[in-house]
Amino acid sequence: MIKVYLLPAIRVNGVDTVAGTEYIHNAILDVEGTEKKLIQDATPEEDFFLSTLSSMNRKATEEEETRLRDMWSEFPSYPSPRDLAAEIDELRAEINKIKKDKEVKHGLE
C-alpha cells in the first residue's frame, strides 16, 4: 500500500538525514514544515517501522500515488545483481571455519 509518512530529520554539517533510511526505497521525499514527507509503497514490515518513527502516516492520495508511479516510470529500479544475504552467510561460514581451524591448531577443541 502506498502511504505517506512525516519523518523527523537531523541536520549534520548541512546534510539532512531522515529517520528510517534503512526502510526507504524507490520513494519520493519532500519537505513538509520541519519534517520530511515520504511517499512510498511500503511492505508491512517497512510500514510498521516507518509508522513508529513518523509523527503522522496515512494512505496516499490519488495525486501522491500518481507522482510515485510517474517517478517509477521515469527512474525504474533494478534488482541488485548481488545477493547480499548469501554473501553474508558465506562470510560467516568462512569466519567460523577459520575460528574452528584456529581452535584445532591450538588444541582448544
Q: What ranges do the domains of the chain cover?
A: 2-78, 80-109
The model's pTM: 0.69
The DSSP H or E segment spanning 87 is helix 84-105
Give the HSE-up count for residue 71: Cα atoms under 13 Å, Cβ half-sphere: 14
Residue 74 burial (CB < 10 Å; 0-12/13-18/19+)?
exposed
Q: Which pLDDT tens digits describe the chain residue by residue (109 residues)?
A: 999 999 999 888 988 899 999 999 999 999 998 899 999 999 999 999 999 999 999 999 999 999 999 999 998 876 667 777 788 899 999 999 999 888 877 776 5
